[in-house]
Chain A
């Protein structure tokens, strides 16, 4: 479904991605993990074409995506930092994106799930961080696309919204979609993900099942396993 080959990205002198090789098969939930600055967001932005890699190629459905734009029809993306035009009202934002994607969208059900009705006529600049994240989630799940990319989906959410998000993620997986999620909350990863990809200093340190990582690091749970890798790297 998504194939990343020899991906390299430098920002000035700093190498952020250093030869990423990754195969993501169709269906299932992939968690991309790694310490701050390990290149998770950059990898995602390269897949979306927001950032241009220096080397390597990305293929989606066996087609190279460099310089293309139509393939983004197959992707729903939740950005880590939700930046919206401040003058717009929530309702207008939803209808604008539907208009641009020329797709009906299923926003009504999502608005209900996240209790956003009272905010529909409010301007985006007046909303709290958690509410903005909910708006962001509605925009992401509004369209029926085979690939869903979530960059830190849990940030700012209250426990109830978090439960609903997990429910939503499970529904998408059941519908046969491919989900790529980055997060720092290990409990969330253990609960929802099928496979994990661990990035360290721009390289893939581990790719496989959660169980496999526990065996590799000889730790009890994912949190300790991740901490173990990070520590090892620090004192290496």
Chain B
């Protein structure tokens, strides 16, 4: 599997967009920090951006990479290599590239600004960890879409729809439900609805970490009660982890049975 990972990486590092992704974060990080001069404000701005952008880029590049490496996959499948190794290697290749783009792109400006001397280091770590989790989650979901759709246009369509649903439509439906059922106690509903969307979950996690949950009013207090405790953090991390593991598992299962 390490060999596949090596060649996957090698192939990805030749394409320009991997560098563009890294440079984008690098420039963004520097601009935000040095023009703003406030670490926690920069973290909040980045949070708003990352929870939308990371899923979008991961989904699009995930589908794109899976389709464009189809030739490579077919070549490898006829070699004495385990099928699981081929597909896991490719998944780790693309997530590794995207994750290092994010980590280095934001890490370098923050370290240069003096992150290690500040108290905001834990906020920054929360931000990066959710960014990385979202990368793994949405690449996994994208691979699931790509392996099930031979038609590339349709695959791309589904990928964009998935992102749109998770990033925009879900929140709309969520709000709509809250308004329609405003007579009823909804804390448990909103808590579970949040857990079922990794984007919302990451957003709430970062907000709680930044200690601005008071802005969320009563619901914020409920969330803080739940997620602020050890078991709350444990449950939300478990939710994020299952968002990574379950799509990866279904993808591997499907790829094992696929005919080429």
Q: Which residues of A contact B (CB under 8 A)?
A: 11, 45, 48-52, 69-73, 75, 77, 79, 83-88, 96-97, 99-101
Contact A45 to B260, CB < 8 A, known contacts A84-B75, A86-B71, A87-B11: yes
Indicate if B148 sits at the interface (CB-CB under 8 A).
no
Instruction: Let me know if B78 and A72 touch, CB within 8 A.
Output: yes
A101 lies within 8 A of B14 (CB): no
A224 to chain B, nearest CB (A): 35
Residue among A73, A79, A96 making CB contact with B7, cutoff 8 Å: A96
List 17 A-B pairs, Cβ < 8 Å.
A45-B260, A48-B78, A52-B259, A69-B80, A69-B82, A71-B80, A72-B80, A72-B81, A79-B74, A85-B69, A85-B75, A87-B14, A97-B79, A99-B3, A100-B76, A100-B81, A101-B80
Which residue of the partner chain, among A51, A72, A84, contacts B79 with CB atoms under 8 Å? A72
**A52-B257 contact in complex given A70-B80, A79-B78, C-beta closer than 8 Å:** yes
CB distance from A143 to the nearest CB of B (A): 10
Cβ–Cβ < 8 Å partners of A100 in chain B? 3-4, 7, 76, 79, 81
Residues of A within 8 A of B80 (CB): 69-73, 101
Given contacts A87-B11, A100-B3, contact A50 B77 (CB under 8 A): yes
Assess the B74–A45 pair: CB atoms within 8 A: no
Closest chain A residue, CB of each to CB of B74: A83
- Measured between alpha carbons, how far is A99 from B7 in the docked complex, in Å? 10
CB neighbours of A85 from chain B (8 A)? 11, 69, 71-72, 75
Q: How many residues of B contact A (CB 8 A)?
A: 23
Q: Report B1-12 CB contacts with A as 1/0, cut-off 8 Å.
A: 001100100010
The answer to whether the Cβ of B152 comes within 8 Å of any Cβ in the partner chain is: no
Chain B residues within an 8 Å CB radius of A97: 75, 79
Q: Nearest Cβ distance between residue B255 and chain A, in whole angstroms?
A: 12
Given contacts A97-B79, A100-B81, 4 further A-B contacts (CB under 8 A): A50-B260, A72-B78, A86-B71, A101-B80
A99 to B74, CA, bound (A): 17
Do A83 and B75 touch (CB < 8 A)?
yes
User: For A45, what are the chain B residues with a Cβ–Cβ distance below 8 Å?
Assistant: 259-260
How far is A85 from B80 in the complex, measured between Cα atoms in Å? Answer: 18
Interface hits, B60-107 → A, CB 8 Å: 69-72, 74-83
B78 — which chain A residues lie within 8 A by C-beta?
Answer: 48, 50, 72, 75, 77, 79
* CB of B151, distance to nearest CB on chain A (Å): 15
- Given A45-B259, A50-B259 in contact, is the A83-B71 Cβ separation under 8 Å? yes
Per CB-CB distance, the 3 closest pairs between chain A and chain B, nearest first, are A83-B71, A72-B80, A51-B259
Docked pose: A87 CA to B82 CA in angstroms: 24
